[in-house]
């Protein structure tokens, strides 16, 4: 197979990620579980330890040197994220625990306040459980109706069916930008435009999109956009919810406590301004601080260069895996990110994962928190390999060799 040409120095990039030197079961680690979480470059690791070693303090309320330094670093990440997604105002950037937390915040605040019995909420067949369950809970409480946009056998949305589902009853549309199981890139700009034509608000689950695609929330005109930093070389336990200011202002708080209030008496409380209205309690300061370093790292490599390289890895891996007899790729959309889900004849996906792990190769197996999607394809789950900028064609070759060994061991 042809080698991939890139201006990126992949060897130098790999040296930025200490964990890639790990040895697993006597083999050099091959890490292909990036859709679950990416590994962290040294700059991010140093930022986390640097906070705890040099300016560990609570933020916003302190006037001493450490508190002011911590507050400055914390808010610098907010403004960096604003820039990264092109949000109009930094106050529209709300820190959360992750994508799941962001979706729940919107469902439990906007949904409770503005949706009523009979209102329809649209999601897709390929949603992560995190973008299904919160809306089911809201529907049970409010009497709303949850409707599901179907897909074709390639794992692409049936947009004609989506248009037919839209009506004056449609009040909210919540869709995944990129499928974590299939890699499908959904036409979210078109989805948003058509939803707005009937007066519906739109949330985009950007968990898988932000590390691979350019995100411009103003160009998309989405009402809400949420994502996690740990899927884009940042720390775990830290995410973002973007919302249009007028909507965030109208929504009630999600949690009560410190930071989200201006004044408290036993009779009543007044709530803080954005973004603090939605950030009750001491936040995950170190990881928020480190988030900026993750985005700076991506910027230093160049988002376009990363995207091109990852797409070339996807093409290389797709061709290589299709050469294996009895292997079928699940999710063959024309527009994909670097995720390949597959099933292997005669091998349960969990057995495949265990046997590859014995060879030092880390993939994901199971339903990937998309059980309804698996049912759509009539399978219990898949094996999933997902690629990041530090992966190589040599590692893909090891995956192919490993799968041939799996076939022999289970044949």
- Considering the domain architecture, whether residues 285 and 350 belong to the same structural domain is answered as no
Q: What is the mean pLDDT of residues 358-386?
A: 96
| Residue 308 sits in the same domain as residue 283 | no
Q: Is 4 inside any structural domain?
A: no
The pLDDT value given to residue 1: 42
Q: Is 286 within a domain?
A: yes
What is d(CA 292, CA 294) in angstroms, rounded to the nearest whole number? 5
Do 258 and 355 lie in one domain? The reply is no
Average pLDDT over residues 63-68: 94
* Shared-domain flag, residues 270 and 311: no
Do 223 and 74 belong together in one domain? yes
CA distance 387 to 356: 16
Split at pLDDT 50, 70, 90, the class of 260 is: confident
Cα gap 83→81, rounded to integer Å: 5
Of 299, 325, 341, the position where a domain reaches its end is 299
CATH of the domain at 132: 3.40.640.10
Residue 1 lies inside a defined structural domain of this protein: no
Count of domains forming the chain: 2
Domain end marker among 299, 324, 354: 299
Distance, CA of 294 to CA of 337 (rounded, Å): 20
* Domain identity same for 254 and 322: no
Beta strands in 177-214 (DSSP E): 201-205
Q: Which long-range contacts (CB under 8 A, 24 or more apart) does 311-318 make?
A: 311/338, 312/4, 312/6, 313/4, 313/338, 313/387, 313/391, 313/393, 313/396, 314/183, 314/338, 314/339, 314/340, 314/387, 316/1, 316/4, 316/393, 316/396, 317/385, 317/387, 317/396, 317/399
The reported pLDDT for the residue numbered 271 is 81
pLDDT band at 270; cut points 50, 70, 90: confident
CA distance 347 to 341: 14
Q: Are residues 321 and 179 in the same domain?
A: no
Domain assignment present for residue 5? The answer is no
Nearest of 243, 209, 383, 401 to residue 320 by alpha carbon: 401
Same domain, 160 and 307: no
Q: Please write the tens of the pLDDT for every residue from 148-181.
A: 999 999 999 999 999 999 999 999 999 999 999 9
Does the structure show a pLDDT above 90 at 269? no
**What confidence score (pLDDT) does residue 208 get?**
97
The CATH number of whichever domain residue 336 belongs to comes to 3.90.1150.10
Give residue 258's pLDDT band: very low, low, confident or very high (50, 70, 90).
confident
Instruction: Supply the DSSP symbol for 273.
Output: P
* Structure confidence by residue, pLDDT tens digits, 25-40: 999 999 999 999 999 9
Q: Tell me which of 394 and 410 has the higher pLDDT.
A: 394
Residue 43 has pLDDT above 60, yes or no: yes
- Residue 324: pLDDT band by 50, 70, 90 thresholds? very high
The answer to the question of residue 169 being in a domain is yes
Whether 22 is in a domain gets the answer yes
CA 317 to chain centre: 22
Q: Which of 280, 299, 318 is the last residue of a domain?
A: 299
pLDDT at 61: 79
Q: Do 227 and 354 fall within a single domain?
A: no
- For residue 341, the model assigns a pLDDT of 98
105-152 pLDDT tens trace: 999 999 999 999 999 999 999 999 999 999 999 999 999 999 999 999
Q: Are 136 and 111 in contact (CB under 8 A)?
A: no
Range of the domain at 193: 46-299
Residue 276 domain-assigned (yes or no): yes
Q: Is the pLDDT of residue 189 over 90?
A: yes
Angle at 300 between CA 299 and CA 303, to 5 degrees: 40
Q: For the residues 350-378, what does the mean pLDDT come to?
A: 96
Q: Is it true that the peptide bond before 275 is cis, omega within 30 degrees of 0?
A: yes
Do residues 314 and 242 share a domain? no
- H or E stretch at 289: helix 285-301
pLDDT of residue 13: 98
Which residues are annotated as catalytic? 369
Give the per-residue pLDDT at 238.
95
- Say how far apart CA 148 and CA 279 lie, in whole Å: 32
CA angle 138, 380, 339 (to 5 degrees): 85
- Per DSSP, helices labelled H in 86-221 are 99-106, 112-114, 133-142, 159-165, 188-197, 217-220
Q: Are 72 and 171 within one domain?
A: yes
118 part of a folded domain: yes
Bridge pairing between strands 239-243 and 93-96: antiparallel
Task: Identify whether residues 218 and 231 lie together within a single domain.
Answer: yes
Residues 6+ apart with CB under 8 A from 23: 29, 360
Instruction: Please provide the average confidence, as pLDDT, over all residues in the chain.
Output: 95
């Amino acid at each position: 197979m042809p080698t991939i040409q890139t201006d990126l120095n992949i060897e130098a990039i790999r040296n930025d990620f200490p964990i890639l030197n790990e040895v697993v079961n006597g083999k050099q680690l091959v890490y292909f579980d990036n859709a679950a979480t990416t590994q962290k470059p040294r700059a991010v690791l140093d930022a986390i330890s640097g906070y705890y070693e040099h300016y560990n303090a609570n933020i916003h309320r302190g006037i001493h040197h450490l508190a002011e330094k911590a507050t400055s670093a914390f808010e610098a990440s907010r403004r960096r994220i604003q820039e990264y997604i092109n949000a109009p105002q930094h106050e529209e950037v709300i820190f959360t625990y992750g994508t799941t937390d962001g979706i729940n915040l919107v469902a439990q605040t906007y949904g409770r306040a503005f949706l009523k019995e009979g209102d329809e909420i649209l999601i897709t067949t390929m949603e992560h459980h995190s973008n299904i369950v919160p809306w089911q809970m809201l529907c049970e409480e409010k009497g709303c109706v949850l409707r599901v946009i179907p897909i074709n056998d390639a794992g692409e949305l049936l947009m004609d069916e989506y248009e037919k589902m839209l009506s004056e009853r449609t009040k909210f549309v919540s869709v995944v930008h990129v499928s974590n199981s299939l890699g499908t890139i959904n036409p979210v700009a078109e989805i948003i435009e058509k939803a707005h034509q009937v007066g519906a608000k739109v949330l985009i689950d950007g968990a898988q999109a932000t590390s691979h695609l350019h995100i411009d929330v103003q160009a998309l005109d989405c009402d809400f956009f949420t994502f996690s930093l740990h899927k884009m070389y940042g720390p775990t336990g830290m995410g973002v919810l973007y919302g249009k200011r007028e909507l965030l202002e109208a929504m009630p708080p999600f949690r009560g406590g410190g930071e989200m209030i201006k004044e408290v008496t036993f009779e009543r409380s007044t709530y803080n301004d954005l973004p603090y209205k939605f950030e009750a309690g001491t936040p995950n300061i170190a990881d928020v601080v480190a988030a900026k370093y993750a985005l700076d790292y991506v910027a230093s490599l160049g988002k376009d260069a990363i995207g091109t390289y990852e797409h070339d890895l996807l093409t290389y891996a797709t061709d290589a895996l299709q050469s294996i007899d009895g292997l079928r790729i699940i999710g063959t959309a024309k527009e994909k990110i670097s995720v390949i889900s597959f099933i292997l004849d005669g091998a349960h996906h969990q057995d495949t994962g265990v046997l590859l792990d014995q060879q030092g190769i880390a993939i994901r197996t199971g339903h990937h928190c998309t059980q309804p999607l698996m049912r759509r394809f009539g399978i219990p789950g898949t094996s999933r390999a997902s690629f990041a900028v530090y992966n190589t064609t040599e590692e893909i070759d090891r995956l192919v060799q490993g799968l041939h060994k799996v076939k022999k061991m289970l044949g």
